[in-house]
Amino acid sequence: MAARSAREAVKTDTIAAVSTAWGEAGIAIVRVSGAGAVPLAKSILRFGAMGFPPPREMRLASLLDGAGQTVDQVLVVHFAAPRSYTGEDIVEIHTHGGTLVAQTCLEALLGHPSIPARLALPGEFTRRAYLNGRLDLSQAEAVLGVIRARSAEALRAAARTLSGSLSSFALEIYNELLRLQGNLEVGLDFPEGEPPEVTDEELLNSLEELSEKLRGLEGRCSAGALLREGVRVVLCGRPNVGKSSLLNTLLGQDRAIVTDQPGTTRDLIEEGAVWGGVPVRLTDTAGLREADTGSIEASGIERARVAMEAADVRVWVLDSSRPLEPGEAQEIPQGAVVALNKADLPCVVQEKDVQAAAPGAAKILRLSAKTGEGLDALKEAVLSLARGEGALEEGLNVTARQLADIRACAHAVSEAKTSVREGVGEDVTAGLLGEARGALERLLGLGGGAEALLDSIFSRFCVGK
């Protein structure tokens, strides 16, 4: 009951915020949403002879401060409920840029003696859009994807999700699950001997089709998650093999210190780049070797290990101009890209030697941090590892949470297939289909997302969105 009334309050308060970034700029936009939006706007604005604008028409007005003095000439637009971003009455006041005008406008709105309004919480406008059915949860999260996009490709993926590509595809799967589950449950109510609604073969075919669709969706979403979160790439290997040089050449700038003294890089160095439309976070690490415990170098090595754990792709750097050190090739982690650096020098270590010593390596490439030779191939190898099956042009911008929901759905469908094949019973299969459906309900926020989930999603937004 308490939770419900909190939610009602969230829905009915009038909220206001400055929706543009702080600082000097051409304009700033103050946004008000809720039943008090129009009367509040009228109370702090003075319009010319034409009066308050009809919905979706912009008009000039004077913004008044508490004492009735004109503070600024502003443009005002009004969106009437339910045809607005939040589904409520919205008024937007476009002031001249500069923090003070927008702040004065906001204070005038929040300080009205008889029409209550409060400052919006982070993401609250978008949360209301979701609560009022203007967006589903996957679209609401895509709004943040659009705001945070770090590359043009990521922005396109977020826009596809926002326009409903993910929702419509997921809804199609959802409805199919509902239909199959319904058929099974009808079958359950039939007395012995009645013909079943669907044969096992039909059911298996339908489930197979669903699995296929979910695989496609998962591929598109992993590509999109990549675009959204960026790929974390860690450069690791023994000291002096050229990790810092490689970072610098990849970035086109001298970011990390390069010396011929082993153990120079001690802290992690992180920089962002965009490769082939994908945002990448590159981390240079201290060389991995035994160091005196407690030394500065030892703590750098510990951080390097943590960074390696968290990375999407590990690039293991070797110096191909000198024989490998004992145990060096054996340290190469499974699935790493091996960079045989210093290819500009006479070659001592061959690809095939590394292949034999580290059969788990995903790719072995000769390159030179000094001349830049082989670096494009390295970028391509990193991206193709991170991307997996999905094509970026089809990518849907999803969060890790959404990807997990899609995977949970696919998992339940595949369990359902097994249960049909093994003849475990229709009630079990129906239960699994219900689970699959539940995962999609979470994805889309159908039937009202749990309050805690909504809090965690919308708290990542800025105030005013």
Ligand X SMILES: Nc1nc2c(ncn2[C@@H]2O[C@H](COP(=O)(O)OP(=O)(O)O)[C@@H](O)[C@H]2O)c(=O)[nH]1
> Which partner, ligand X, Mg ion, none, binds residue 300 by CB below 5 to 8 Å per kind?
none
> Which partner, ligand X, Mg ion, none, binds residue 465 by CB below 5 to 8 Å per kind?
none
CB of 261 to Mg ion, least distance (A): 10
Q: Considering beta carbons, is residue 16 or 256 the nearer one to Mg ion?
A: 256
| Total residues binding Mg ion (CB under 5 A) | 3
Q: Is there binding between residue 341 and Mg ion (CB under 5 A)?
A: no
Compute the distance between CA of residue 75 and CA of residue 96 in angstroms, rounded to an integer. 9
Compute the distance between CA of residue 105 and CA of residue 87 in angstroms, rounded to an integer. 23
Is the N-terminal amide bond of 82 cis, ω within 30° of 0?
yes
Which of the residues 235 through 294 are near ligand X (CB under 6 A)?
239-245, 258-260, 264-265, 287
Q: Considering beta carbons, is residue 243 or 417 the nearer one to Mg ion?
A: 243
CB count, 10 Å around CB of 116? 12
Phi, psi of 297 (to 5 degrees): -65, -40
Half-sphere exposure of 109 (CA within 13 A, CB side): 32
CB count, 10 Å around CB of 268? 15
Q: Which stretch binds Mg ion (CB under 5 A): 43-51, 52-60, 72-80, 264-272?
A: 264-272
**Cα–Cα–Cα angle for 48, 52, 55, rounded to 5 degrees:** 140
> Which partner, Mg ion, ligand X, none, binds residue 242 by CB below 5 to 8 Å per kind?
ligand X
Question: Angle 200-229/165-189 helices, nearest 10 degrees?
Answer: 150
| Total residues binding ligand X (CB under 6 A) | 20
Burial class (CB in 10 A: 0-12, 13-18, 19+), 388: exposed
CB of 241 to Mg ion, least distance (A): 9
| x-marked contacts with ligand X along 314-353 as a string, rule CB under 6 A | ---------------------------xx-xx--------
CB of 327 to ligand X, least distance (A): 17
Q: Is there binding between residue 151 and Mg ion (CB under 5 A)?
A: no
Look up residue 250 and give its amino acid: L
Q: Is there binding between residue 265 and Mg ion (CB under 5 A)?
A: yes
Among 307, 369, 406, 410, binds ligand X (CB under 6 A): 369
CB count, 10 Å around CB of 218? 19
Q: Which residues bind ligand X (CB under 6 A)?
A: 239-245, 258-260, 264-265, 287, 341-342, 344-345, 368-370
Q: Which residues bind Mg ion (CB under 5 A)?
A: 243-244, 265
